[in-house]
Structure 1
Amino acid sequence: MLKRATRDGFRAGVASIALAGAFTGNAAMAQDSGESGDQGISEIVVTAQFRDQNLQDTPLAITAVDAALMEARSQTNVEQVAQRAPSVQFTAGGQGGGAQTAAVNIRGIGATDFQFPNEPGVGVYIDDVYYGISFGTAFELVDLDRVEILRGPQGTLSGKNSIGGSIKLFSERPTDDPNGYVELAAGSYDRLGLRAATNVTLVPDRLYLRVTGVGKQVDGYLTRLDYQCVTGRDAPGGSFATKSEDCVIGTEGGQKVLAGRAALRWLVNDRIENNLIVDATRDRSEASPAKAIYLPPINGNDYLTGPEDYTNYSTYTGYPGEPEQYTNPAISYFDSWGVSNNLEIDLNDSLALTSITAFRHADGQSAWDGDNSPENISNNFSTFRHDQFTQELRLSATVGETADITLGGYYYKGDSELGGRVHVGIAGLDFVPNDPFDQTSVSAFAHGVLHITDALNLTAGLRYTDEKKTYTFSRTSPLPGVPTDPRVASLDGLSRTFKGDNIDWRVALDYEVAPDIRLYGQVATGLKGGGINPRPYLEMQAVPYDQETATSYEAGLKSMLFDRRLRLNLAYYHTDYRNYQGQVSACPDISPPGFPFCSATRNVGDAKIDGFEVEFDARPVEGLSIDGSVSYTDFRFTDAIEGSGIVPGVTEAPFVPAWKYAIGAQYEIGLNGSGTIVPRLDWTWQSHMESNIPNNVPGFELGEVEARGLLNARIAYRSEDEDWEFALAVTNVTDKFYFNNKYDRISQSGNAYGMPGRPREFAVSVKRKF
């Protein structure tokens, strides 16, 4: 399979690079013909190294996308933005965690499990505030200024140590410009949407307010069918046909989201600025769409629906004897709110203090019909609550034109709880968990840039991290008068603690070899905290696992060519990855003799990762914009523990496609003083990937997610004064049926299922600026 992915990906990558070369040639011709450079590519300012800095001057691999480009690409949530970036895999709607939960990795490093002890390997930040859990990370985009995606270990950068990279969302700041808008949208599956924002000047030159609101509703695209109504055969729990004459009992994948944000910006004086932000989200979406891929006939019933249709037979029922008492609602609910305060004080012309204080709350509940049938093989209901407090302090100094230095400290306190009901019919296991989880992380860091010459810079960073995690297990029976299953009863009230610390560092050198052409190299380390196995069956399986660590070696080129007509950035990296945290289904060393049940998170092995990335942005002629990327990730397990399911040299890491590429183009057509029309096309492709371990060995073939290519299109009309915009957008133009992810659970519950991506959808919108 690796050979196939490499061959197919190499062809796709060569085609994309050749296409980029064609654009480069066009840019050169435009320059040679004497066209003015004033229509060239604008500068992008990022804050990855604690200060405002041109993207092209930053010795890091960064993808930066502004609000205008996100709108042109029809990107409305962070998943869509991240999936367009090289070496980034962002998959929302994972097993059991709800539609808003995501498995995210960058350059093959991240996390695939939503359980609280398994912290994200890729840090997600909102206005420099770290979001510490996987639940709810598939954010809707609310009035953003830009998104920065930092690839590679961020051990000495970002608020909290992020081993794989960071995704940072920055909101629009209030100003004295009214900069208001209202946008209405409608489309397929009864889609309705409303977005609105405006600035309000409360005190001229001193106090500004920006208020933003978003509402979205769309029906589910996967239909739940009544098996008895469709086939005429009996099914457990009886028929639901009385609810609908067309055999439809519900849908999955529907969304209903309301979100609001208020930002208050206070310019106290010329040296002090304070930004206070309050936000809230209410999400009442349906359960994640899922479809059975393999399920053996049960009692003569075949519960598989067509291989490429958006249907299933999920009923969310448990035991046949109690369908009314144990029928889960097919929901994925999520509520969150937060308050953050960013205080910036210029102590003098060369010394500045920044304080970022934040509190966030999130809670939700979601159902998961793990067998997608009327049977009771695997049906779970999850609830969660999470509160976190973070405080970051930075003291930044400029030493003439010689150096920039930042010293700081970071504090994270998380208080969480995971509950619901777990039912695994194949194992005869049924219990109610209610598990508190507490986490504290404290770190101190230093970062400095020495400007050796006007063209040569040396960057160094150091961070010390100390953390503690405590997980307490609660296991009770879901039925009155029935004792708790003895396989989990011994866990009730048990508490386990993980403690760890680490030192991370970074050294980078960058050199401007010619105007707007910069070479850089760096070595950086990163850390993902350890934890406690959250899924033990017995007390002896409630064991800690250690921290993951990574050391990455990277070399890159950042260039702006042809009178700013082409931005071309390249990066190559090699990573030594230690103590990979994976889930195993066999653990004889921590189980009684002959005890077959295990679902444990453990340090299962080490790996090496090599890859390269190409990003370009071209303006070959006036009005034409072309952007694209190519990435290759070669992830190789080098050793593994017994029972991990990993075969070094054979097993592929979950959610790591070897190849990805993307290309988009738009052309602004003037209408002789009557406005402009802007058509745009975007194509993305990625090679196959695995979604579980074991894989690529006999008996474990059903977790492979096939390669896919998706085409999006949009055409917009803007009035001459740009106050009005009318747009038509089509996503998945070719109506490609594909899976976002799959789960081969044959060894655990005897089935396999996948989560289909969205079919072709149309949307029309009208936007009024004022």
Structure 2
Amino acid sequence: MIHRHSTPMLYVKKALSADKPLPSETQRHSDFTFRTAALPLAISLSVMSVFPGVVSAEERFAIEEVVVTARKREESLQDVPVAVSAFSEQALEMRNVTSIEKVSQFVPNVQFDGAAALSGGGSNATIYIRGIGQNDFALFSDPGVGTYVDGVYLGRSMGGVMDVLDVAQLEVLRGPQGTLFGKNTIGGALNITSKAPSEELGGEAFLSLGTFDRQEIKGIVNLPLIDDVLLSRISLASVKRDGYAERVLDGEDLGDKNSTVGRVQLLWHATEDVDVSLAADYTRGRTHSAANTLLRVNNSGFPFLDIYNAEVAPGTGIVAPNGVASVNDSWITNDPYKTYGTGPNDSELDSWGVSATVDWSISDNLDAKSITAYRGLEASFGRDGDNTPFVFRETTNDNEQSQFSQEFQLTGISFNDKLDWLVGLYYFNEEGEENAAAQLAVGIYDALEALPGPTYGPFGGAGNPANTGLDLDVSIFNKIDTESYAIFSQNSWHFTDRFSATVGARYTRESKEFEKQDQRLGSGAYIVSPGSTWESDWSEFTPKLGLEYTLSEEAMMYVSWSKGFKSGGFNGRPLVSAAEVTEYEPETVESFEVGLKSSWLDNRLIVNTAAFYMDYEDIQLTVNQTPANFVANAAMAELKGVELEVIAKPLSALDINFSAGYLDASYKDVGSGLGVGQVLPITEKTDLAKTPRLTLSGGAQYAIDFGSGASLVLRTDLSYRSEVYHDIANDPLLKQDAFTLVDASVTYTTPGEDWVIRLFGTNLTDEEYLQSGNASSAAFGIAEGSYAIGREWGMSVKRLF
């Protein structure tokens, strides 16, 4: 394989080599003074970071250098002109990252929530990077941040909250990745690389126990089948944890975990120049719904709620805590982890995939790669959105999705090492079906039919056609078929050893066909008739231009301009007629970025920073304020900010990391809905959802090496987020005030490093913070929210063999 910067995956630089004498105290002081004086310049210019794990005493003052694949070739993170955060396996372990959404605590300007509003699903991801993402889990809504596992794109946000199992590295790429990664990476990308099979027989066994009766078991075996020819690796995990929220009427919990994950990999060295990697994975989840609680009930002036309380609720035999047979604010528990809900309470996931990757080193300067993959998932989940024993607002979703993708890459170095180039082709096909139910104010239609005549305005009386409009007990069928083609290329010309320019481009053509059928169960009337279909296609050219200049062996500066694109789609939540199934347009972003990556003090200090400005146009805003449910294109937003990441190793035993992100995001034009009654609930003064202005994190890790060869590592991490709104309309109840999370761990490694014992605690201050929510105030008068888990303690034991 060809690499301009050839380094092992976790190559460690030696700042003080054996053949170089130690500098004198005067020299060291002079060096420190000079570099400290220059440090503000470095901080003001650039981007990104590496997080070190534990380093042995023999590797004094060495900061671990991570090799990333942010440009689809292996490069040192410090040499790649991209805003990317990279976490090695050890870095993830030391931060107690057992599920990928937790990594957002350590990356600037990233919001990753694991309980998508309206769904009840415990594995539905909501990811925003630099203010760009998607707040909807639905089958017909594409994510704005792409997730890739071993080069394979995952088409749905359902199942996007994944357990960390045998991960070699996790990269978070910030900003549009429309050239090399392409599909739905308008906000950025998560790039996950699994540990590959190796030549050595070995493995590990892992057990973790903790609060909420947590039980986590992992087993990994690396098994060479034919020496130097065929290697294999098997990884298995089981994670169980009781729920952290409770339904007080039936005693069932919410927010639990119960998943089984498996992965099998084969690596075949077919020839000296050809490697073939085969992988298969499976995830099974069987849990209750995500934690949910009632935040608000407006007791009058809301038509569905008023009619329901007058005509339906008194006949159910259900009495509220205040003694009234109605949906009212006495059902609010004022405890974020308790609810009176009794409705749907399940979240099930089956996700699987197979892939084949062929790497062919054609010559010293030419590589070819093929990635072929098939994936499928079945996901069903439900929620009690009114959080009462009434059937006033409940939903269930049952989804099936399959996808096939094929990518070809050709990578080379030409013109006497002046040109690094890559060209590629990409194909993606997805099919999905959803059978769902929205049980909204169930019983209203029958109650209106039983009235002697119009009683509530035009509503009431047997056979009154107006009654049908309030029949919102609806069965839903959605089907999607997406096909996407792309051709892409990225090329870097090295004018000198220090100065280079990058030019890249991608042309994407995507088509979608959407089929829908929605029926009102009370009246039997159709909102959307059987066999109704919509189809459209879109295409976009997404270029990238960049300049990179190496200031010295320790510093590199870059500037770039790039464009991102996400295709359009169709509104899939009508409640009145098929006219609501409008087509919304693609969204695009143009990003300008300047960055500096630098190392100081003989590689004992790394400072990376970036500043960016983005024009975000035709934003696909999802409005879920039942009965107003639609997507429309808000005209424009302006996103600008800075990011800083610092790693320091002031002592051989001490590692320190710090990151900061500042994001100023504002609408510049609002736009309008696409159909009758579709009004965007925003103004130019509205804050963008899921976009905290300030994100901070810091960690310190101290290693004590004993003479016996054993070691003890103490670590603590803090992360801070400023206030953030979880809905586009900025409902005050869905605003999370600023909060800070504190984690800590103590890790003991035995002599020989064959046993690792860790005590850990997360969210030690027991912060209560909202991770998602929904407010449907126009007609239902209800707001609901999902709070994240509180304090956890635990202990883990790992045996290496």
Q: Partner of 1:630: helix, strand, or coil?
A: strand
Please say if 1:387 is aligned against 2:427.
no
Equivalents in 1 of 2:733, 2:255: separation in Å? 23
Q: Partner of 2:732: helix, strand, or coil?
A: coil
Please say if 1:349 is aligned against 2:392.
no
Letter in 1 for 2:243: G
Taking the TM superposition and a 5 Å limit, the aligned residue runs for 1:18-37 are none
Query: Which of 44, 53, 58 pairs up with 2:75?
Result: 53
TM-score normalised over the length of structure 2: 0.84
Taking the TM superposition and a 5 Å limit, the aligned residue runs for 1:647-686 are 647-673=682-708, 675-686=710-721
1:502 matched residue in structure 2: 540
Report the CA distance shift for 1:445/1:285 in structure 2 as closer, same or farther (over 3 A). same
Deviation of residue 371 (structure 1)? 1.1
Deviation of residue 48 (structure 1)? 1.2
2:181 matched residue in structure 1: 158
1:534 matched residue in structure 2: 572
Deviation of residue 735 (structure 1)? 1.3
Deviation of residue 498 (structure 1)? 2.3
Q: Partner of 2:481: helix, strand, or coil?
A: strand
Deviation of residue 701 (structure 1)? 2.1
2:726 matched residue in structure 1: 691
Deviation of residue 761 (structure 1)? 1.1
2:275 matched residue in structure 1: 273
Partners of 2:508 and 2:540 within 8 A in 1: yes
Taking the TM superposition and a 5 Å limit, the aligned residue runs for 1:250-399 are 250-296=252-298, 299=325, 302-316=329-343, 328=344, 330-399=345-414
Equivalents in 2 of 1:192, 1:410: separation in Å? 41
Q: Partner of 1:258: helix, strand, or coil?
A: strand
Please say if 1:223 is aligned against 2:246.
yes
Q: Deviations over 1:138-168 (max 9, x none)?
A: 0111100000111001110125351010001
Equivalents in 1 of 2:627, 2:712: separation in Å? 61
Please say if 1:404 is aligned against 2:420.
yes
Q: Deviations over 1:346-385 (max 9, x none)?
A: 1222221100000000011101111111122210111101
Partners of 2:117 and 2:772 within 8 A in 1: no
Letter in 2 for 1:484: G
TM-score normalised over the length of structure 1: 0.87
Taking the TM superposition and a 5 Å limit, the aligned residue runs for 1:306-705 are 306-316=333-343, 328=344, 330-399=345-414, 400-425=416-441, 427-478=470-521, 482-486=522-526, 488=527, 490-537=528-575, 538-584=577-623, 597-642=627-672, 644-673=679-708, 675-695=710-730, 700-705=731-736
Taking the TM superposition and a 5 Å limit, the aligned residue runs for 1:133-212 are 133-158=156-181, 160-212=183-235
Q: Partner of 1:492: helix, strand, or coil?
A: strand
Partners of 2:296 and 2:329 within 8 A in 1: no
Partners of 1:421 and 1:432 within 8 A in 2: yes
Equivalents in 1 of 2:238, 2:73: separation in Å? 34
Deviation of residue 402 (structure 1)? 0.6
Partners of 1:117 and 1:530 within 8 A in 2: no
Letter in 2 for 1:272: V
Deviation of residue 492 (structure 1)? 3.1
Deviation of residue 742 (structure 1)? 2.5
Moved more, 79-88 or 410-419: 79-88
Partners of 1:222 and 1:252 within 8 A in 2: yes
Equivalents in 2 of 1:533, 1:388: separation in Å? 22
- Tell me which structure has the larger Cα radius of gyration: 2
Deviation of residue 674 (structure 1)? 5.2
Q: Partner of 1:576: helix, strand, or coil?
A: strand
Partners of 1:151 and 1:165 within 8 A in 2: yes
Give unpaired runs (5+ residues) of structure 2: 1-26, 34-56, 300-308, 310-324, 443-469, 673-677
Partners of 2:616 and 2:638 within 8 A in 1: yes
Equivalents in 2 of 1:462, 1:446: separation in Å? 6
Q: Deviations over 1:717-768 (max 9, x none)?
A: 1012111011111111111122112322222521111111111111111110
Q: Partner of 1:679: helix, strand, or coil?
A: strand
Partners of 1:640 and 1:646 within 8 A in 2: no
Deviation of residue 477 (structure 1)? 4.8
Equivalents in 2 of 1:422, 1:401: separation in Å? 61
Query: Which of 60, 63, 79 pairs up with 1:41?
Result: 63
Deviation of residue 655 (structure 1)? 0.7
1:119 matched residue in structure 2: 142
Give unpaired runs (5+ residues) of structure 1: 1-26, 227-247, 317-327, 587-595
2:113 matched residue in structure 1: 91
Deviation of residue 267 (structure 1)? 0.9
Deviation of residue 302 (structure 1)? 4.2
Q: Partner of 1:249: helix, strand, or coil?
A: coil
Letter in 2 for 1:566: L
Aligned length: 692
Q: Partner of 1:95: helix, strand, or coil?
A: coil
Deviation of residue 29 (structure 1)? 6.7
Report the CA distance shift for 1:157/1:690 in structure 2 as closer, same or farther (over 3 A). same
Q: Partner of 2:628: helix, strand, or coil?
A: coil
Q: Partner of 1:68: helix, strand, or coil?
A: helix
Equivalents in 2 of 1:635, 1:701: separation in Å? 19
Partners of 1:674 and 1:719 within 8 A in 2: yes
Q: Partner of 1:65: helix, strand, or coil?
A: strand
Equivalents in 1 of 2:334, 2:713: separation in Å? 38
Report the CA distance shift for 1:181/1:378 in structure 2 as closer, same or farther (over 3 A). same
Deviation of residue 703 (structure 1)? 2.0
Query: Which of 60, 79, 87 pairs up with 1:65?
Result: 87
Equivalents in 1 of 2:733, 2:329: separation in Å? 18
Q: Deviations over 1:182-227 (max 9, x none)?
A: 011111111111011121011111110000001011001101111x
Report the CA distance shift for 1:205/1:606 in structure 2 as closer, same or farther (over 3 A). same
Equivalents in 2 of 1:348, 1:342: separation in Å? 18
Deviation of residue 641 (structure 1)? 2.1
Q: Deviations over 1:221-255 (max 9, x none)?
A: 101111xxxxxxxxxxxxxxxxxxxxx52110111
Partners of 1:123 and 1:167 within 8 A in 2: yes
Equivalents in 2 of 1:378, 1:30: separation in Å? 69
Letter in 2 for 1:388: Q
Equivalents in 1 of 2:91, 2:114: separation in Å? 22
Report the CA distance shift for 1:584/1:769 in structure 2 as closer, same or farther (over 3 A). closer
Q: Deviations over 1:587-638 (max 9, x none)?
A: xxxxxxxxx9531111122111001100111111011111121001111100
Q: Partner of 1:668: helix, strand, or coil?
A: strand
Aligned-CA RMSD value: 2.0
Deviation of residue 560 (structure 1)? 1.0
Report the CA distance shift for 1:418/1:382 in structure 2 as closer, same or farther (over 3 A). same
Equivalents in 2 of 1:671, 1:751: separation in Å? 59
Partners of 2:230 and 2:268 within 8 A in 1: yes
Equivalents in 1 of 2:103, 2:721: separation in Å? 15
Q: Deviations over 1:549-587 (max 9, x none)?
A: 00000000100111111111000000000001113479x
Partners of 1:744 and 1:752 within 8 A in 2: yes
1:11 matched residue in structure 2: none
Partners of 1:294 and 1:304 within 8 A in 2: no
